[in-house]
């Protein structure tokens, strides 16, 4: 389960379709998604 509750409202759009806004809760199929994160610093 992946959850996100940012300080400001975050809108989620996937494949051009609006899926709502935060807080966000969803499940990911194991090994189905590659996540790339930019490190601060």
pLDDT for 18: 92
Q: What are the residue ranges spanned by the domains of the chain? A: 1-41
- pTM for the structure as a whole: 0.46
Longest dimension (CA), the chain: 33
How many alpha carbons lie under 13 Å from residue 23 in its C-beta half-sphere? 5
pLDDT in tens, 6-39: 899 989 888 889 988 999 888 888 888 888 888 8
pLDDT for 41: 67
DSSP assignment letter at 15: T
């Amino acid at each position: 389960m992946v959850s996100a509750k940012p300080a400001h409202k975050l809108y989620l759009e996937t494949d051009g379709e609006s899926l709502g806004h935060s807080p966000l809760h969803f499940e990911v199929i194991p090994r189905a998604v590659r996540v790339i994160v930019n490190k601060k610093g």
